[in-house]
Structures are given as structure tokens and as C-alpha cells.
Amino acid sequence: MTTLPEQFLQQAKKLMGEQIYGSFIKAMEEPPSVAIRLNPFKKPLAATKLTEESKEQVIVPKEKAEESKEQAAEILNSLFPDDSVIKPAKEEIKQTIATELIVNCQLSTVNWCPEGTILPSRPDFTLDPLLHAGCYYVQEASSMFVSHVAKHLVSQGFLTDEALVLDLCAAPGGKSTALRAALGDSSILIANETIRQRAMILRENIIKQGHPEVIVTNNYAADFTSTPLLFDAILADVPCSGEGMFRKDEGAIKQWTPELTQQCAQLQRQIIQDIWPSLKENGILIYSTCTYNVLEDEDNIEWICQNLGGRLIPIPVNPDWNITGPLKPLDHLKILSDVTEESKRILPSEVKEGRRPNNCQLSTFRLSECKGNLFTLPSGRKVERSSIVNCQLAYRFIPGRTPGEGLFMAVIQKTSPEIKDLALVGGGKKDKDFGKKKEIKAKTTAAAWLSTAVRRQNNIRVLLRTLKITNL
């Protein structure tokens, strides 16, 4: 294992506590997991859900793999008929990820993303035509959590079928494609990336996914304030110090310093402040980083809610998923009071001893010790284990507890249309009309405006526009 910075280790141990830190350090000595997410827009691959039933139907037992290559080829031919997007040749079967799915039974589904699958080893993806055809995307299991969040927001009515959504820091496109798959069919996703070289990679991956209602742009956050666009939701996977990538990226280790985390935290606040006027009132901000420290995570969530005007939206999760809640109290912030019915299965009033003061995380009640399928709450009420839902205010994915690399995510609803006067590093003055914009009334208007953005030499640089204007 590459040696981690001593100051980072001290901070992590203090933040995580002995138990989580111990499992984290052990996981850092292991190779990172490999996961893929199937593309639901590329048939027939989308129909091959990797459930236990489907495994029995299409997966050849590993011990018989060598003598079953022809059988595997026949199965693949049935999955990818002549009229499919891509049909791997039989001689290429051994080199494809499809073979990995067929001849290896040691697969597990990503709990929070049914389309996600964790592979037992890392194949040579570059040789696989299915990857280049966009039939699947190689993505960290933890990053797939954005799919669960988006599906919940859609199911609970926070996002309509015609939502206008922005992925602000989108390259290389993993979260964008997961987000697009979870949104309503008539929604529009704008995938934006500031750095042009990375934006071209994003453009390529969006094209591979194949959904028509996506636009790729190459702009700074502040550029969007010059447009009439108001977004129903914004995903901000902001640039960070990269602590969550230490296991995969030695460069992140070499560049890490305590000063870098402070600089990143200030940059993140500036980015959110710049994009805040483009989020409609009651719109949703999904804030995420791939780092562990509280400066870039909980502290920034607190700053956004208190200074820009927002309240946290709890997203239901199953405690068996082992997702860690916030490591700094957030319960003093505004929280959406009308929690969804799914979350109400376990009421906060029934959670007393044994929980952290900043969430309703029921995994602290030793769910593993419950008898059979029933669990007794502190109130005495008995519930089925499968019905227990965590009511967390932020979500941390930590190696050793969850598959994938480090990730932090929280969901905020905008409650104030105007921003307060703020002092940020590098200055920054509040415009007299900051936070005040006229909302575009219809999706057609948004599409028409975006379609002419380049021709009008507007500040928004559009690299890819796949909107079906005539069908709106």
C-alpha cells in the first residue's frame, strides 16, 4: 500500500472513530473493486438484469467455462441478435465483458443501483466492443448512489417528468449517464464541464449512452446566470482534494496537504454561490465530493443551508447497505419536515438511545442481532427487518464499509431565492439582481433557446445538442 500522509491519517482517525477507521485502513491495503452499470437505453442488454433468476438462465458455471465457450457464444448471440446495436463475433467472446458476466458466477449487484454489478476482477475494457457501443459504463459503485437519489426525487414528486436538470461538473460522465437514466423520459439534462479537454470526453460518453434529451456544454458556473435558464435540480460533484481516490490515484496522495483541503472548500463554496441563482426556488441541489474531511463536506453543507438558504432532504437508505451518515452533526439545520412515507416507517420519536445526535441511523441498534426477520425498536414496536429505513442527512461511502471509493453526498432544497452578502476568498461582490431570474415557462422554450445558443454567440458554449426540438 502506498504510504498515506500522516496528517491525513490523524485527521481520518479522529473523524471516523476507531471502528470505521480500522476497516478503512484495512481496505486501503486491498485492490479497489471494479463495477459496471448497464445502460437501459441500449437493448437488449438492458433486459439482462443480473438477478439470481437471470444468473441461473444465462451464466455458465465457472468450472465448466473452458468447455462451454460455444454455449457462451450461443447465449450472447441470443442476447445480441442481428438487429441489436452490437453483436460480438464469436472469436472475440473471450475478450469481452459479456464473457465475464456469463462464465463467472461470482457477481454481486450494487445494492443502491439495480443496474450496477461488481465484477470479481478487472478485464481489459478497451478490447470490449460493448463498452465502445455504450452498452455499459465502468463506474465506482459508490458513485452510482446518485441513481438512487434521483429515482427517489422523481418518485416523490420533487422532479417532474419534464424536469430541467444540470450536471455542473460532469466529466467524464458517469454521474451524468446515471442521472439521465433515472430522470423522466421528457426531462432535459445539461451536462457541463469547465475544462474543454474533459468536456470532449464527456461529450463522447454522452453520445455512447444514446439518450436524445441531453446537451453538453463547456462553461463556468457563473456563465449560466447570463441565461434565462432556471433548473429544477443541479448536481454539483465539485472539484475536491481527492482523498476518496487515494487507493486508485497516487497523484492525489502526492498533491494532498491540509492547505489544499482549505483551498478546495473555498472553491466549492464559490462554485455553489455562482450557480445558486440558476436553481429555481424549491429546486434541488445534489452536492457531492470524493473526499472525507468535514471542511469540504459537512461544513460546506452547513454553509450552503445557512448562507444561501436551503434545507436538507433525507433520502431513505437500507441500513444493510452500510452507508455511513454525517460525521459532524447536521440536525441543527433546516430539514424537510414532511419526510416521505418510506422514511416514516421508522419515526424519529422512536429512536432514542444508541443513535448519533445528527441522524436516525438505526444500524447502531445491532440489526445483525435481531431474531429472525423481526426487530424490536426501543419503543417496543416490532417491525420487519426489510422495512427498516435509515433517515440520514448526508451519505458517506467509506472503503471497508461500502464497495467503491470514497464519496460524500447530501441533498438540499433551495428555500431562499436570494443570497446573503458573503465574504469569500478572492473577493466576490453580490450583484443587485443576484438570485432574481425569470423562469422559463415551458420546456419547449428552454430547448429552443439552447438550440440557438451557439448561433447567437451567447456565453454558453454548446458542444453537443441532441434535443428533438420537433417532438417537444
The CA-to-CA distance between both ends of the chain, in Å, stands at 53
The pLDDT of 69-77, averaged and rounded, is 50
- Residue with the bigger pLDDT between 189 and 343: it is 189
Report the C-alpha gap between 356 and 204 in whole angstroms: 44
Report the C-alpha gap between 325 and 402 in whole angstroms: 12
Q: Which domains does the chain have, with CATH numbers?
A: 34-140 (no CATH), 143-414 (3.40.50.150)
With a cut of 50, say whether residue 467 has pLDDT above it.
Answer: no
Identify each DSSP E strand in 200-270 by its residue range: 214-217, 231-237
Q: Is 78 helix (H, G, I), strand (E, B) or coil?
A: helix
The answer to whether residues 147 and 179 touch, using CB atoms and an 8 Å cutoff, is yes
Prediction pTM value? 0.77
The answer to whether residues 358 and 327 touch, using CB atoms and an 8 Å cutoff, is no
Q: Is 137 helix (H, G, I), strand (E, B) or coil?
A: strand
Identify the pLDDT of residue 451. 56
Q: Which residues of 16-34 are buried (b: 16+ CB within 10 A; e: fewer)?
A: beeebbebbbebbeeebbb
Read off the pLDDT band of 100 (50, 70, 90). Answer: low
Question: What torsion do the CA atoms of 24, 27, 29, 31 make, to the nearest 10 degrees?
Answer: -140
Read off the pLDDT band of 124 (50, 70, 90). Answer: confident
Q: Within 10 A of 47 (CB to CB), how many other CB atoms are there?
A: 10
Identify the pLDDT of residue 3. 87
For residue 196, what is its C-alpha cell? Answer: 474543454
Ramachandran area for residue 398 (φ above 0: left; ψ -120 to 50: alpha; else beta): beta
Helix residue spans in 133-173 (DSSP H): 145-155
pLDDT tens digits, 243-262: 999 999 999 999 999 999 99
The answer to whether residues 2 and 280 touch, using CB atoms and an 8 Å cutoff, is no
Partners of 166 in beta bridges = 190, 234
Identify the pLDDT of residue 125. 83
The pLDDT of 383-412, averaged and rounded, is 82
Query: Which range scores top for mean pLDDT: 1-5, 368-372, 440-444?
Result: 1-5
Read off the pLDDT band of 401 (50, 70, 90). Answer: very high
Q: Which residues of 148-182 are buried (b: 16+ CB within 10 A; e: fewer)?
A: bbbbbbbebebbeebbbbbbbbbbbbbbbbbbbbb
Identify the pLDDT of residue 228. 83
The pLDDT of 184-210, averaged and rounded, is 93
Identify the pLDDT of residue 133. 85
Identify the pLDDT of residue 85. 40
Mention every residue, 6+ apart, whose C-beta is less than 8 A from residue 382. 374, 375, 376
Ramachandran area for residue 416 (φ above 0: left; ψ -120 to 50: alpha; else beta): beta
Residue 258, classified by CB atoms within 10 Å of its CB into exposed (0-12), middle (13-18) or buried (19+), is middle
Q: Are strands 231-237 and 164-167 parallel, antiparallel or unpaired?
A: parallel
The answer to whether residues 425 and 160 touch, using CB atoms and an 8 Å cutoff, is no
Task: Please choose, from the candidates 455, 42, 182, 452, the residue with its C-alpha nearest in 3D space to the C-alpha of residue 467.
Answer: 452
pLDDT tens digits, 8-65: 999 999 999 999 999 999 999 999 999 999 898 885 444 444 444 433 433 334 444 4
